[in-house]
A and B are shown apart, each in its own frame.
Chain A
Amino acid sequence: MNTKRLLLGMAAALIVGPALAQQPAPAVPGWAVGRPEGSTLAPHGPTLTVTPVDRLPVAALRLPEGFSAAVFAHGIPGARAMAEGPNGTIFAGSRVIGRVYAITRNADGSTRTRVIAQGLNNPNGIVMAGNNLYVLALNRVLRFDNIEANLDNVPAPVELTQAFGLPGEADHGGNHFWKVASLGPDNRIYTNVGAPCNICSVDRDRFALLVSFNLDGSDRRIEARGVRNSVGLAHHPVTRELWATNHGRDWAGNDTPQDTLIRVRRSGEDHGYPFCVGSWADPQENAGRNCGEFAQPAALLGGHTAPIGMRFYTGTMFPEQYRNQAFIALRGSWNREQLSGYDVVVAKLDAQGNVTGVEPFMTGLRDDANQRFLGRPVDVQVLRDGSMLVADEQMGAIYRITYRQ
């Protein structure tokens, strides 16, 4: 070990704490900073085989009075972010299985699923603009023109990777590279660029951002800075403001920092990564910054609950109290001693767009007594009839929630 490495190692050890400072140790990788000695927490593995329909946990789902859930589609391993085409096709992206699914409804109410793209690197950014489907993967942006008319014979997509110029695999160093995408009321594509680490100082113009583009990939605009890892975006149907979910860092406690719901009041505003989450100063990367100088979260969603997809409820089937409220899928924790999340929650907003509370909406997938989970909600989608779809990535299924008085 040369002198420079030794010094680096010692510097890292000093930051972590006096116990490690007694002997020079190899530098602790950024993702593991703060990890307690002896912890055995590790991410839960995905299920990427088909789960038989009779093994889906639909009977375990709990909803408020008057709501019910049924299986909308199944046999779609890893199904994640959803978008709806003008003719009612539901498109679903995925992460490691690399597929994009198209789900159509048969006359009898059953569904048919096609794989319309595969072998892609985490194609989770799925957005419709007119008749065209955009797919944002880690290293590519593809446009499938007039997709609903071509589901049985999908033509080669238009390659927009260069035009969008998003950071690639090497830039992300394997961290937070998955995309989410949404079409804004200004007809621009909104997406995320995650931080290339658990916690580290980053180029704040390149990473930990929400960004928007024209449909052809031109005119990149930074919508929000200092957003560690957002995997859910939606525009408020009335105020047109951009809202997003955001994951806090790991290895800083069971309850700190909290995952957050953020509201972007002004394009380009700063949400604090890596220095702060709300009023919470990061123990390693705060760099003496006052947390009050950053935009504060619209709501705190709990430690490690992993909020993913979100949508405002714009339908009329649900009771009036749910109109324009934010539904958020919590994929559920791994970096926490007791499981948290695994629910769909609703953030209640007042007329000014301030969050007045966060309430459980769909529960039952987290088994606290046995510390296990039955599924992982990852996205919500409001259908035109006012019902709501919930994608369960772990079970490879989509549930449909309806309301009847």
Chain B
Amino acid sequence: MLRMLAAAVLAAAIPGAAPAQDAHRGAELARQTCLMCHGENGRSQTEDIPSLAGQPADFITLQMILFREGTRQVPVMNEFAAHMPDKDIEDLAAFFASLPPGPPDDRRARDAALYAAGQALVGPRNCGVCHVSDFGGRAQIPRIAAQREEFLARSMMEYRDGRRAGADTQMNGAVVGLSDADIAALAHFLAQQD
């Protein structure tokens, strides 16, 4: 754990990597509030709570602001983010972005049929256009590879059912008309990516 943190701090200390953000300070903040639920190494071992390791810093910053402002409703997160200064949010984002991503320890074994069904949907739904072909995300668009499967499924249902919106409406459009079974297949396929 400590070694991992040290590595993250080193990565962020490379000149020019992220001049305005302080991943070291972010690590301190994260230890106090975030890691209990989101996992000591940023990989969540808790059902329904997403992994944050390796998420793009812009994505974490944006979502934390939506939590702070109450325009994305997740009561526990709204409470943590309330009145949080921009600087804390940006430092936390730099910290999580610096952690190496990976699957949760309890990732279930691949179900070949479900995986294939998900794979068949990824192309027509253009997931890789925004999330990039390895599903690692970019800028305000999250990493979805190796994310917790049940969290991916819930997020897609929230977008589909109009219970969540991002900075723009692309995700609402991307999942329109998907059945619960389609979403389960997509979530399984994406959770299996590394």
Q: Which positions in A face B, CB cutoff 8 Å?
A: 25-32, 35, 39-46, 48-50, 77, 95-99, 118-121, 169-170, 173-177, 197-198
Q: Is the CB of B173 within 8 A of A49?
A: no
- Across the interface, which residues of B come within 8 angstroms of A177, CB to CB? 169
**B174 in contact (CB, < 8 A):** yes
**B61 in contact (CB, < 8 A):** yes
Q: Is the CB of B173 within 8 A of A175?
A: yes
Q: Is the CB of B69 within 8 A of A174?
A: no
Known: A25-B124, A32-B173, A97-B71. A45 touches B129 (CB 8 A): no
Residue of B nearest to A97 (CB): B69
**B35 in contact (CB, < 8 A):** no
Measured in the bound complex, the distance between the Cα atoms of B170 and A39 in whole Å is: 15
Partner of A46, one of B62, B172, B173, B174: B62
Known: A26-B121, A48-B65, A118-B70. A43 touches B162 (CB 8 A): no
- Across the interface, which residues of B come within 8 angstroms of A31, CB to CB? 170, 173-174, 176
Measured in the bound complex, the distance between the Cα atoms of B168 and A176 in whole Å is: 9
Measured in the bound complex, the distance between the Cα atoms of B171 and A383 in whole Å is: 38
Q: Is the CB of B173 within 8 A of A29?
A: yes
Q: Is the CB of B69 within 8 A of A49?
A: no
- Across the interface, which residues of A come within 8 angstroms of B89, CB to CB? 49
Partner of B172, one of A25, A26, A173: A173
Q: Is the CB of A35 within 8 A of B129?
A: yes
Measured in the bound complex, the distance between the Cα atoms of B169 and A120 in whole Å is: 16
**B5 in contact (CB, < 8 A):** no
Give the residues from 118 to 153 in chain B that come closer than 8 angstroms, CB to CB, to chain A: 120-121, 124-126, 129-130, 132, 139-141
Q: Is the CB of A46 within 8 A of B140?
A: yes
Measured in the bound complex, the distance between the Cα atoms of B139 and A96 in whole Å is: 16
Q: Is the CB of A174 within 8 A of B167?
A: no
Q: Is the CB of B70 within 8 A of A29?
A: no
Q: What 1/0 flags go to B64-101 for Cβ under 8 Å of A?
A: 01100111000000000000001001100000000000
Partner of A35, one of B58, B65, B126, B177: B126
- Across the interface, which residues of B come within 8 angstroms of A42, CB to CB? 129-130, 141, 170
